[in-house]
Amino acid sequence: MIDAVTAAGDPAIAMTGFVTVFEISRWSNGLLADELFRLGVGVSALIGGVGGAIRALRKDKGRSRGELVPCLFLTAWAVFWLMLHNFPRMYGHIDALAAAYRHHRYEVVEGPVTVLHEQPEHGHASGDRIVVGGKTFEVNFFYATPGYRQTISHGGVLRAGAYARLGYVGEDIVRVEIRKR
């Protein structure tokens, strides 16, 4: 139950008894910022490699073309880097989840949290497996997702006995609300 002081200070808590602890956005978990940084690294390397190769090829024919090898290596590495990270897929995933949340196209479950498996702090195992309202979720701290990923060992609120309301799209949790006592 919520005390009168807390309820008076926050009308949303007073009306629902729930506190929102996570809402997805494009910038959740720093994933978009990380992806933009990685994209910048790849594009910079590609520009540097191609630019260097063009400069090396434009030099007088009497000079050594030894500068070309590192430029071609950098270009190949940049292409590999950009393909490896599959930026369009990740940006699409982030955008789809954020848009679904923004336009209320997500499902909601509510109930007490049951923990079936807890992920160790160091990882090397599957994530926390929890059940809320008959629906099973896996919360993995080491999975790159804009959705909720705070495991119990990393300060997550979805612990055994907590009463939660979760908004989700597919397997991704886009909103976490916890009932205050």
Give the burial string for 70-92 (b: 16+ CB within 10 Å, else e): ebeebbeebeebbeeeebeebee
Assess if residue 71 is contained within a domain. yes
* Residue 12 shares a structural domain with residue 46: no
Contacts of 126-134 with CB under 8 Å at 24 or more apart are 127/151, 128/152, 128/156, 128/158, 130/158, 132/158, 132/164, 132/166, 133/109, 133/166, 134/109
Count of domains in the chain? 2
What pLDDT shows up at residue 3?
37
What pLDDT shows up at residue 124?
85
What pLDDT shows up at residue 15?
53
* Residue 72 shares a structural domain with residue 114: no
Choose one of 72, 93, 114: the last residue of a domain: 93
pTM beyond 0.85? no
CA dist., res. 27 & res. 42, Å (int) = 21
Assess if residue 166 is contained within a domain. yes
What pLDDT shows up at residue 178?
95
* Residue 175 shares a structural domain with residue 146: yes
* Residue 120 shares a structural domain with residue 168: yes
* Residue 125 shares a structural domain with residue 174: yes
CA dist., res. 138 & res. 148, Å (int) = 10
What pLDDT shows up at residue 27?
87
CA dist., res. 126 & res. 119, Å (int) = 6
Residue 120 DSSP symbol? -
Assess if residue 98 is contained within a domain. no
Q: What residues of the chain score a pLDDT lower than 50?
A: 1-14
Assess if residue 114 is contained within a domain. yes
Assess if residue 101 is contained within a domain. no
Choose one of 45, 63, 93: the last residue of a domain: 93
CA dist., res. 131 & res. 116, Å (int) = 7
* Residue 152 shares a structural domain with residue 120: yes
What pLDDT shows up at residue 10?
47
Assess if residue 87 is contained within a domain. yes
Strands 18-23 and 163-169: unpaired
First to last CA, the chain: 4
* Residue 65 shares a structural domain with residue 112: no
* Residue 36 shares a structural domain with residue 19: no
* Residue 14 shares a structural domain with residue 41: no
Assess if residue 135 is contained within a domain. yes
Choose one of 93, 116, 133: the last residue of a domain: 93
Query: What domain range is 66 assigned to?
Result: 32-93
Helix axes of 87-102 and 68-85: crossing angle, nearest 10 degrees: 30
Q: Tell the residue number behind the tokens 């991704």, with chain if given.
A: 172
Could you tell me how far CA 115 lies from the centroid of its own chain? Answer: 22
* Residue 70 shares a structural domain with residue 118: no
Count of beta carbons in the 10 Å neighbourhood of residue 19: 16
Assess if residue 99 is contained within a domain. no
